Chain A
Amino acid sequence: MYYYIVNPAAGRGQVKNLQDKLRTRLTQLGISGEWVKTTGSGDATKLTRAAVAAGHTTVVAVGGDDTVNEVINGIDHDNVAVGIIPIGSTNRVATQLGIVTWPQACEALAARRLTPYSLIAAGQKFFLSTLTLGFETDLDKQVDTDLTGLRARIGQFQQSLGHARNYSSLHCKIDVDGQYKLECDLFTLSIANQKFLNPLADNRLIVSLSDRPGQALKLGQMVWSTLRNRAQGALGDEHTTTRFLANRVVIETDPPTGIMVDGKVTSRTPIAIRLTDRRVRFITEKVVADFKNAVSPTRS
């Protein structure tokens, strides 16, 4: 039976308006199940653990990236599938899995196409999509990016650009798999599972970093694309100057700085980030095996 964990605060409380429609559609599809609501931070992790212990094999996060992240931190069994109904302010994980709207999410849940992803550990916390540090993380403290509308977006851009002009690059040292060490000044750094960005690729960390552009125009473009990607839930690396794959990285910065995982500041540098053996099966829009066969019919 499906176990739905609802974050009532997600997406500025829009679940209230959707709940009836959502339940009706899920019942029509024959996947109505048990519904529970979170009441605070960390609640979804506890509810997930309880659900798995009770024998539920499908846990659905009804919320944004934060809710999804709490759910995957509560899963410690291989046989549990995770679904997402994206109604949060930031829905990067769902977007990347091909799920954009709630009606589409319901169809995907009913179809139950599963793709396994290895989780990434940052200290004690597990995550699937993105870890960032540097300007993008700092931006959250300075600018309210939740507001939508043209006027709000223009205001956010002006604030962000002003912040970017005054933001000093961090000096960074990264140990990569114990094989080589990398040293540079960085403006932003992001880490994701490569498979998350490209379902055909292997599970590996993809580390992207960029230094502050010298030209004002490029800085403006960078700030704009950061805001746009956040709004669309996309992961952009169009301004990346350095990118590499790894299984484990240890990051030190001078000065130490905060690390944001799926839109939430969770810890600070220095920190070790590694790809784990812990796999979670996500209900996705497309099944990878079908895609592989479609593009490469001769491959066995």
Chain B
Amino acid sequence: MARRTHEDALGVAGAETIIGTGVIVHGNLESESDIIIDGTLDGQIKTAGNVTLGINAIVKADIQGSNVTIAGSLKGNINAEGEAVIRETGHVEGDIRCLGLSIATGGVFSGRSFMEAPPRLDPDIAVDGVEPPEPAGPAPRKPSRGNKE
């Protein structure tokens, strides 16, 4: 589930954070945009955007983000507002909390998963001034015009 806003699309929210191969990070990585890691990180990752761990990533951290994709190695918990995806080369040791979980063949997941169902709209409640839909059934007949009885 993509949560990119109009601001993100225009780049107003700022450039994405990229940690390349061969880079070692110690500490807490916080961002308002997407984070892509292909290096080594020890700490915490928190963002309003998406988090992607590349194939070379070795990360010991709890991750909080919108959608989280793992193609590298992660020791830590994932808290995703949207989907969590473990790719073919991904390895996750930790718990995952998300709305949707996908594990590709070859991907490794060792931990517990907690799936939260998305909130459902009650059809009887009007949203933003829009009237709730009519209940299903035969439509009421409108008085016809021009027909002679």
Contact = CB atoms under 8 A, between A and B. Distances in A.
Interface of A: 176, 179-185, 194, 198, 200-202, 204, 206, 210-211, 240-245, 295-296, 299
A198 B11 contact: yes
B10 A200 contact: yes
Q: Which 9 A-B pairs have the closest CB atoms?
A: A180-B27, A241-B20, A184-B23, A242-B20, A200-B12, A183-B24, A244-B17, A243-B18, A198-B11
Given A185-B22, A295-B10, A296-B6, A180 B17 contact: no
Interface stretch (B28-36, B83-91, B125-133): B28-36
Interface of B: 6, 10-31, 33, 39, 43
A179 B46 CA distance: 12
B11 A201 contact: yes
Contacts of A202: 12, 14
A244 B20 CA distance: 11
Contact of B18 (A194, A198, A204, A241): A241
B18 A242 contact: yes
Contact of A245 (B17, B20, B39): B17
Contact of A204 (B14, B16, B20, B28): B14
Contacts of B39: 184, 242
A244 B47 CA distance: 13
Contacts of A295: 10
Contacts of B15: 194, 198, 201, 206, 243, 245
Contacts of A181: 25-27
Contact of A200 (B11, B22, B31): B11
Nearest to A180: B27
B14 A201 contact: yes
Contact of B22 (A179, A184, A204, A206): A184
Contacts of A240: 18, 20
A82 to B, nearest CB: 24
Contacts of B28: 179-180
A48 to B, nearest CB: 31
Contacts of B27: 176, 179-181
A182 B10 contact: no
A51 B17 CA distance: 41
B43 A201 contact: no
Contacts of A204: 14
Contacts of B23: 182-184, 241-242
A184 B33 CA distance: 23
A241 B16 CA distance: 12
Given A184-B22, A198-B15, A299-B6, 18 more contacts: A179-B28, A179-B30, A180-B25, A180-B26, A180-B43, A181-B25, A182-B24, A184-B23, A184-B24, A184-B39, A185-B22, A194-B14, A201-B15, A202-B14, A241-B18, A245-B17, A245-B31, A296-B6
